[in-house]
A and B are shown apart, each in its own frame.
Chain A
Amino acid sequence: MVALAKNSQNLEVWKVLESVKDPEIDTVSIVDLGMVEKVDIEPEQIKVTLLPTFLGCPALEIIRTNTKNAVMGLPGAKNVEVEFIFSPPWTSDRVTENGQKGLKEFGIAAPPRHLEEDGSWHVDCPYCDSTYVTMENIFGPTACRSILYCKSCKTPFEAMKPVSTIM
C-alpha cells in the first residue's frame, strides 16, 4: 500500500513539473526539455534532481525557484529540495517529441539529431519547413540557441544547439 501511494505521489510530482516552463519559452516545460533526471519521495521531503542544459545559463536559479514553488503547491508537500547535477550530462537528444513540437510552435527549430562528419548540422525552418536556410551565428541570444535565416520565407529564426557527449 505504501509503495503504491508513493508511486502515485511520484506521478503527481511529474505532472506538476510539466507546468514549470522554460522562463523564456512558455511552450516547453522542463520535462519536455529533458531536464528532469529524477523525483525522489522521502518521508520528510520531495527531492527533484535537474540537469542544467548549459553550465553558465543564468536561468538556472529561476528554474530552481519555479520548480520548488510548483511542487510546494501539491497537497501534503512540506519540504521540497531541488538539486542540479552534472552527471549524467544533459544532451540535446533528451528533448522529448512534445518538446520538439513546443519549440517549433515558439519559432525555434528543435535540436538536430544528426551531426555531419565535420561537426556541422542542419535544421529546417520552423515557420515554413523550407530546407533552404543559412547559419547566421552559431551563438545565439542564450547559450543553448543559434541564429539562422530562412531564404524561402525570409525569416530569421533560432535553433536549439545540438550537444552530445561525443563532442
Chain B
Amino acid sequence: MSAEEKKALEALIFQLADDDFLFSYRGSEWLGLAPHIEEDVASSSITQDSMGHAAMYYKLLEDLGLGKADDLAHLRPAQERKNSVLTERVNGDGYYMDTPQYDWAYTVVRSYFYTQAKRAKINSLRESSYEPLRDIAVKVSMELYYHVMHWKLWFEQLLSSTEEAKSKMVSALKLVVDDMGDLFSYGEQKELIERFDLIDSEEKIQNNWLEALRPTFEKLKLDLPIIPEPKLNGRNGQHTDELQTAIDTLSEVYRLDTATNW
C-alpha cells in the first residue's frame, strides 16, 4: 500500500469510528430515560451494537499502527476528532445526572437519518478495495438491518400520530437537517479518499441515502430534506463545545488510570 493510500484509509476509518462512537455515546445517555421500558431495552441494544462497531474501527486503526484502540477512543482532543457535528449534539436540555429534559423526537430523527446514512456507507464498503473494511461491512450490515427497521418505525409512527407529536417531529427535522452539512462530507480528504475506491463518492452516498428515504417521505407526504452547506465541518476537526463536554464525561474514568485493564 502506498503512503498516500494509507493516509486515505486512515482518514476514512477515523471518520467512521468517531461517528459511531459519538452516536452511541449520545444513545447511552438515554439509558433509563427512554419513553418506556421496551424502548429502553431496544435503544440500549442498538447503542451497544454501535459501540461495538466503533471499537472494531478503532481496532483497525490500532492494527495500522496508530496507537491503542482505547486511547484513540478516549484520549484524543476534540480538534482531532473527525465525527460529524450531528453525532456530537446533546440529546436536549439538562444533564443526565441531574434533571434531563431530553428530546425524544430529536433522537428519533437523528437516529433514523444517521442510521440510514450509515446503511448507505456500509453498502458501499461491502465493495471497498480494502479487504478488512469489506469484512467489517458484512458483519455490521446484519446488525444494522434491525437498527434501521427500529428507527424507521418510530419515525413513521410519530409523524402519523397526534398533532403534538407531529409538530415536535417537524421541529426536530429542522434541527437535524441544519447539522447535516458534514455527514456525507469526507472533508479535506475527499479527493484522497475517493481516489482509491475505498468507498463511493460523497455525492453517490448522499444520493443513495435520499433514495432510501424517498418511499417513507412520500408515504408521509413530506418533502425530502435539502442538505445545507456545512457551517462547521467535523471531518476537518471543526466542532461545537458539546463535543468537548462529551469527551470530558465519557473519558473521565479511563483517564483516572490509563494503564489499568478496564
Contact B42–A55 (Cβ < 8 Å): no
Contact A165–B136 (Cβ < 8 Å): no
Contact A119–B52 (Cβ < 8 Å): no
- Chain B residue at minimum C-beta to C-beta distance from A136: B38
Contact B49–A54 (Cβ < 8 Å): yes
Label chain A's interface by main secondary structure: loop
Bound form: Cα–Cα A143–B42 in Å: 9
- A45 CB within 8 Å of chain B: no
Bound form: Cα–Cα A140–B50 in Å: 16
B70 → chain A closest CB, angstroms: 13
Q: How many residues of B contact A (CB 8 A)?
A: 28
Would you give the 0/1 interface string for B28-53, flagging 1 where the beta carbon is closer than 8 Å to chain A? 00000000001001111110111111
Interface residues of B in 49-66 (CB under 8 A from A): 49-53, 55-56
Q: How many residues of A contact B (CB 8 A)?
A: 24
* Given contact pairs A161-B146, A167-B142, A139 touches B45 in the complex (Cβ within 8 A): yes
- B95 CB within 8 Å of chain A: no
Interface residues of A in 116-167 (CB under 8 A from B): 119, 136-143, 147, 161, 163-165, 167
Interface centre among A54, A139, A142, A163 (most CB of B within 10 A): A139
- B143 CB within 8 Å of chain A: yes
Would you give the 0/1 interface string for B119-159, flagging 1 where the beta carbon is closer than 8 Å to chain A? 00000000000000001101111111110011000000000
- Chain A residue at minimum C-beta to C-beta distance from B145: A167
Residues of A within 8 A of B142 (CB): 89, 91, 163-165, 167
CB < 8 Å neighbour of A89 from B46, B49, B139? B139
* Given contact pairs A139-B45, A139-B46, A139-B146, A165 touches B53 in the complex (Cβ within 8 A): no
Contact B149–A143 (Cβ < 8 Å): no
CB < 8 Å neighbour of A119 from B42, B138, B145? B145
CB < 8 Å neighbour of A139 from B42, B51, B135? B42
Residues of B within 8 A of A57 (CB): 52
* Given contact pairs A56-B50, A56-B53, A89-B138, A137 touches B38 in the complex (Cβ within 8 A): yes
Contact B140–A119 (Cβ < 8 Å): no
* Given contact pairs A54-B143, A138-B149, A143 touches B136 in the complex (Cβ within 8 A): no
| Chain A residues within CB distance 8 Å of chain B | 54-58, 86-87, 89, 91, 119, 136-143, 147, 161, 163-165, 167
| Chain B residues within CB distance 8 Å of chain A | 38, 41-46, 48-53, 55-56, 135-136, 138-146, 149-150
- Not counting A55-B52, A86-B139, A139-B150, a sample of 4 additional A-B residue pairs whose C-beta atoms are within 8 angstroms of each other reads A91-B142, A139-B146, A143-B45, A167-B145
